[in-house]
């Protein structure tokens, strides 16, 4: 039986993991699907994407189901202005961005004569038409490059493609720390807009980072901004968005953050007041994480449920954490297990 050759046109791109951005389809949201009343920045809702704000109104961020039709996306991120600031101060900022590890960028050959160009593609929608700025910031060498794009039609999904030249200056550190920031600017004061936009790689001059024509998305509570399908890849051409299996995408996000179920975890009573155990993380973390215990913890041992216990972490590494349960009246040598009132139990945070 002859084996038919699959036409090359039937394969969009055989270079797996070409997308430098993690969770660009906005499908993973371990922290929750909505965050309201935001006047300070941080990781909110959709995994791996950070929100930056300084004196630019109040915002709600949600994982949304409004997506471009027929493109394969199920989720987007929506940023919604709930308190406006129509006159931004000089130092005001409003951004949506992702930090990227240096060891994930080495193949771009930045800082050499063979430096690769990168192409950014994404889908965007807003009622606020006009000029917006996208920026790659080199954190290792304080260098940056910016490009503008235009939202032409209000409340309409539009695909944007921007190509950034390779940078022959400034090699990137080959480690697990942040080397690139991929910024989407939604508003900025004159500290960032009063110079000449760096459309080619240059040393960081703050006034040259954002276009002087950049819209102020914070100027009206009717304003909203949707984004999905974010892809940054080597080369000068945008390929089709790289959809990953959900388990692969989740594991990539969990390298930086996960909600971990602590319930029914076994510990051993070492003294009459302390029990010890170990909890393995679902995925190896980027770095030794910080732990936040949610809810109220109890410890069941010898048929008795101990309340008011203290739970603390120890011997933290990228794969697991040791923990101590502190209470009273334990029988040395017996085992017990932890319970918790919060369904998430723990947050494990190794974000950049």
So what's the pLDDT on residue 235? 98
Determine the CATH number of domain 15-254.
2.60.120.260
Q: Is residue 241 predicted with pLDDT exceeding 50?
A: yes
How confident is the model over 145-173, as a mean pLDDT? 98
DSSP structure class, residue 182? E
In contact, 129 and 154? CB cutoff 8 Å? yes
So what's the pLDDT on residue 4? 39
Domain boundaries, the chain: 15-254, 257-349
pLDDT digits (tens, 9 = 90+) for 99-121: 999 999 999 999 999 999 999 99
> pLDDT-based confidence at 10, cuts 50/70/90?
very low
So what's the pLDDT on residue 9? 37
Separation between Cα atoms, residue 143 and residue 120, nearest integer Å: 18
In contact, 291 and 346? CB cutoff 8 Å? yes
Separation between Cα atoms, residue 212 and residue 150, nearest integer Å: 13
pLDDT digits (tens, 9 = 90+) for 74-103: 999 999 999 999 999 999 999 999 999 999
Separation between Cα atoms, residue 292 and residue 344, nearest integer Å: 10
What are the φ and ψ backbone dihedral angles of 134, each rounded to 5 degrees? Answer: -115, 140
pTM of the prediction?
Answer: 0.93
How confident is the model over 58-76, as a mean pLDDT? 98
């Amino acid at each position: 039986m002859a084996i038919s050759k699959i036409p090359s046109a039937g394969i969009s791109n055989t270079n797996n993991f070409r997308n430098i951005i993690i969770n660009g389809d906005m499908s993973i949201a371990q922290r929750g699907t909505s965050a309201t009343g935001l006047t300070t920045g941080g990781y909110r809702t959709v995994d791996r994407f950070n929100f930056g704000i300084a004196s630019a109104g109040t915002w709600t961020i949600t994982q949304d189901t409004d997506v471009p039709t027929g493109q394969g996306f199920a989720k987007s991120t929506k940023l919604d202005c709930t308190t406006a600031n129509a006159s931004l101060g000089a130092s005001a900022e409003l951004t949506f961005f992702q930090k990227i590890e240096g060891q994930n960028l080495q193949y771009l050959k930045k800082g050499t004569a063979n430096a690769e160009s990168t192409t950014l593609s994404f889908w965007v929608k807003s009622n606020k038409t006009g000029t917006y700025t996208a920026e790659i910031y080199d954190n290792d060498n304080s260098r940056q490059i910016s490009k503008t794009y235009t939202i032409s039609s209000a409340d309409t999904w539009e695909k944007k493609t921007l190509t950034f030249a390779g940078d022959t200056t400034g090699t990137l550190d080959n480690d697990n720390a942040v080397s690139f920031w991929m910024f989407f600017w939604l508003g900025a004061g004159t500290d960032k807009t009063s110079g000449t936009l760096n459309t080619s790689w240059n040393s960081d001059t703050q006034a040259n980072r954002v276009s002087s024509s950049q819209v102020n998305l914070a100027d009206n509570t009717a304003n909203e901004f949707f984004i999905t399908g974010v892809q940054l890849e080597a080369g000068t051409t945008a390929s089709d968005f790289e959809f990953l299996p959900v388990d692969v995408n989740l594991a990539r996000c969990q390298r930086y953050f996960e909600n971990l179920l602590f319930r029914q975890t076994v510990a051993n009573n070492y003294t009459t007041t302390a029990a010890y155990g170990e909890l393995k993380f679902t995925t190896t973390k980027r770095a030794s994480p910080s732990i936040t215990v949610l809810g109220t913890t109890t410890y069941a041992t010898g048929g008795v449920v101990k309340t008011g216990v203290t739970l603390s972490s120890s011997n933290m590494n990228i794969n697991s954490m040791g923990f101590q349960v502190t209470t009273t009246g334990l029988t040395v040598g017996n085992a017990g297990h932890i319970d918790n009132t919060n369904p998430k139990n723990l947050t494990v945070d190794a974000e950049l």
